Amino acid sequence: MFVDNVEIVVKAGTGGNGLASFRREKFLPFGGPDGGDGGRGGNVFLEASIDLKDLASFKHKLFYKAENGGPGGKNKMHGLNGSDLCIKIPVGTIAYVRKNGELVQKADFRINGQRVMIAKGGRGGKGNVHFATATHKAPREFQSGEEGERIDVELQISLPVDVGIIGMPNSGKSTLLSAISGAKPKAADYFFTTQEPVMGTVDDGRNRYVWAEMPAIIEGSRKGKGIGSRFLRHLSRAAVLVYLLDATSQQIEEDLACLKEEVKEFNQEFAGKKYVVAANKMDETVDNTALSNLTEKLAVEGVRLFQVSAIGESGLKDLVATVHKMVTDAGVMQSEEPAPEIIFRPRPVDRQA
């Protein structure tokens, strides 16, 4: 099962307490303060890794904590800093944090190795050496370590996809993806062969474009029929959608209307995405009247219908080139988009003995 959404809690380490102590030496009865500072608490980072494919490993562990800082010691000894905790997540994950019940996007992990601090460790408290003044030579004050941040995090995979292939079962989505990219998803003559999104990269010599095949959509997908439309969330980033139709279908126009309706119902914003339509299995069709009618109707809306054969690999070059141009014109390519680093800065807490 492909897990693409989890909620976890992360807790950064609390800073170590500062120490209140005094030098005690044989011939120095009032040796002055010598309590050291506490170490800082470990931070929690999220780091994108291509080694992870989904969020399944998070299903068994929901709480993640970095190490606390060690307390300050005598002789002005600084406490040990707590180790940072680095949580690996798949490339393509968007991290949201919950603030007053609302989910706020904090970071979008698009490149392998991208690292973002999600919870900051508390500062170590100051030891009593810091509180001595000319008139206050034996301070008993010290600071407690600052509490590490505790953050509710929601991780959601939204793949770095430029082009999303959407179609009914058996329309040839996997065959198309295999024909144009290095991906080799299983293609077979039964419904719902593909149960998870499959990505493939298409290199046109100048740029790399990421295409992804979504599990099939059927009428009622949004209401839980078939595998469901929940995978469509992976297309949040896609600049272009390709509606893949089976040209041998008796109701090609209704098929397209159904796909578009399901997508729109899933997310109104998707309805605004640029798209093309491709009629597949042209090697098998005999009567093309319905297809011609649909082509004309779409042309009025400025949408192109491509006639292709994924198996025969005909018409694919034109389709791919047009779609790539649309992605480039949209100006956002997933393979080139780094995300900004987010850092939290909590305020220190003072306390007196």
Ligand X SMILES: Nc1nc2c(ncn2[C@@H]2O[C@H](COP(=O)(O)OP(=O)(O)OP(=O)(O)O)[C@@H](O)[C@H]2O)c(=O)[nH]1
Distance CA 19, CA 13 (A): 18
Distance CA 116, CA 136 (A): 43
Q: Which does 284 bind (CB under 5 to 8 A by kind): Mg ion, ligand X, none?
A: ligand X
Q: How far is the CB of 281 from ligand X (least distance, A)?
A: 4
Q: How far is the CB of 241 from ligand X (least distance, A)?
A: 15
Q: Which does 336 bind (CB under 5 to 8 A by kind): ligand X, Mg ion, none?
A: none
Instruction: Give the residue carrying structure tokens 């399944």.
Output: 56
Q: Which is nearer to ligand X, 10 or 259 (CB)?
A: 259
Q: Which of 128, 171, 194, 229 binds Mg ion (CB under 5 A)?
A: 194
Q: Which is nearer to Mg ion, 120 or 173 (CB)?
A: 173
Among 131-139, 144-152, 171-179, 221-229, which window interacts with Mg ion (CB under 5 A)? 171-179
- Of 112, 39, 100, 34, which is closest to residue 71 (Cα–Cα)? 39
Q: How far is the CB of 285 from ligand X (least distance, A)?
A: 9
Q: How far is the CB of 223 from ligand X (least distance, A)?
A: 18
Distance CA 188, CA 185 (A): 10
Q: How far is the CB of 259 from ligand X (least distance, A)?
A: 12
Q: Which does 204 bind (CB under 5 to 8 A by kind): Mg ion, ligand X, none?
A: none
175 near Mg ion, rule: CB under 5 A = no
Q: Which is nearer to ligand X, 151 or 166 (CB)?
A: 166
Q: Which is nearer to ligand X, 95 or 308 (CB)?
A: 308
Amino acid at 187: A
Q: How far is the CB of 287 from ligand X (least distance, A)?
A: 15
Distance CA 276, CA 259 (A): 13
Distance CA 284, CA 113 (A): 46
Q: Which residues, in sequence order, are CB contacts of 194 under 8 Å at separation 6+?
A: 173, 174, 185, 186, 213, 215, 216
Q: Is 322:276 a contact under the CB 8 Å cutoff?
A: yes
Q: Which is nearer to ligand X, 113 or 312 (CB)?
A: 312
Q: Which is nearer to ligand X, 156 or 249 (CB)?
A: 249
Binding site for ligand X (CB under 6 A): 167, 169-175, 187-189, 191-194, 216, 280-281, 283-284, 309-312
Q: Is 110:90 a contact under the CB 8 Å cutoff?
A: no
- Of 75, 74, 80, which is closest to residue 40 (Cα–Cα)? 80
* Angle at CA of residue 74, ends 66 and 16, nearest 5°: 20
Q: Is 248:287 a contact under the CB 8 Å cutoff?
A: no
307 near Mg ion, rule: CB under 5 A = no
Q: How far is the CB of 215 from ligand X (least distance, A)?
A: 7
Distance CA 43, CA 126 (A): 19
Q: Which is nearer to Mg ion, 44 or 244 (CB)?
A: 244
Q: Which of 193, 201, 322, 328 binds Mg ion (CB under 5 A)?
A: 193
- Of 151, 152, 193, 142, which is closest to residue 170 (Cα–Cα)? 193
Q: Which does 31 bind (CB under 5 to 8 A by kind): ligand X, Mg ion, none?
A: none
